[in-house]
């Protein structure tokens, strides 16, 4: 298994300079990761460096998910215009917790419709019960999302094997699963893939790749 094909190598912390982002993207491209995930303001820079050799992904409504639907759609469309091929959007967790499932679905559906990009919906599993996780998967499926993603990595807890298995089972082959948050070594990444993750979001891609080479 080539672990590189599963990795969205992410640089999302707010204190990273443009020089650091550029170096991160270049190294990710040279190693051959599937994608690099950056904040919206760095999409154009990342695309210039990645060229056609690597997918550029941007986050939307990150990390809280509490922007309005209109703001999320605008942010997503702008990211695609600047070169993003994939969008990792944070679900409106407050609306979901309030039972406003129609709003949550329409928000996701709008981003999918207006961008035409691969859309991964971050449901932030650490805040949800198992039943809520299953309901969130159904909403993502109905909205036409391509992936359900466990976590932002900025919450109190990241991906767990149990959650990946639950999301995969709930999806019933209708949607892919991205595991993210706290995946820092090869053993954990491989365990997530074994549990059903189709993609791995991590800021430790370089370390994971180095481990895969036996280094």
87 touches 115 (CB < 8 A): yes
Kindly list the distances between the CA atom of residue 47 and the CA atoms of 1, 44, 182, 184, 187, in Å, as whole numbers in the listed order. Answer: 27, 5, 26, 25, 30
Q: For residue 144, what are its two tokens?
A: 């036409």
Q: Which residues are catalytic?
A: 88, 149, 178
Domain borders along the chain are 3-212
Predicted pLDDT of residue 1:
87
Crossing angle between the packed helical segments 130-143 and 161-171, to the nearest 10 degrees:
50
Q: What is the pLDDT of residue 197?
A: 98
Q: Is the pTM of this model over 0.75?
A: yes
Q: CA-CA distances (angstroms) from residue 212 to 46, 93, 180, 190, 194?
A: 25, 36, 19, 10, 16
Averages of pLDDT over each 10 residues, the chain, 215 residues: 97 98 98 98 98 97 98 98 98 98 98 98 98 98 98 96 98 98 98 98 98 89
> Phi/psi at 102 (nearest 5 deg)?
-65, -40
- Peptide linkage before 87 cis (omega within 30 of 0): no
CATH number of 3-212: 3.20.20.70
* HSE value, Cβ hemisphere, 13 Å, CA-based, for 53: 14
């Amino acid at each position: 298994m080539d672990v590189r094909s599963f990795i969205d190598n992410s640089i999302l912390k707010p204190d990273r300079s443009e020089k650091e982002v550029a170096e991160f993207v270049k190294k990710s491209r040279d190693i051959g990761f599937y994608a690099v995930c950056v904040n919206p303001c760095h999409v154009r820079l990342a695309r210039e460096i990645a060229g056609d050799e690597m997918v550029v992904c941007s986050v939307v409504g990150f990390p809280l998910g509490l922007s309005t639907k209109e703001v999320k759609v605008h942010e997503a469309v702008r990211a695609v215009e600047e070169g993003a091929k994939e969008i990792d959007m944070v679900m409106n967790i407050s609306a979901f917790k309030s039972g406003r499932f129609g709003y949550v679905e329409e928000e996701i559906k709008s981003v999918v419709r207006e961008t035409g990009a691969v859309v991964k919906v971050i449901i932030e599993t650490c805040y949800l019960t198992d039943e809520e996780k299953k309901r969130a998967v159904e909403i993502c499926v109905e909205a036409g999302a391509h992936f359900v993603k466990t976590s932002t990595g900025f919450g109190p807890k990241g991906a767990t094997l149990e959650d990946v298995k639950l999301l995969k089972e709930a999806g019933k082959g209708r949607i892919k699963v991205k595991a993210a948050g706290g995946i820092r070594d090869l053993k954990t990444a491989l365990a997530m893939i074994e549990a059903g993750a189709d993609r791995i979001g991590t800021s430790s891609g370089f370390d994971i790749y180095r481990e895969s080479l036996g280094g």
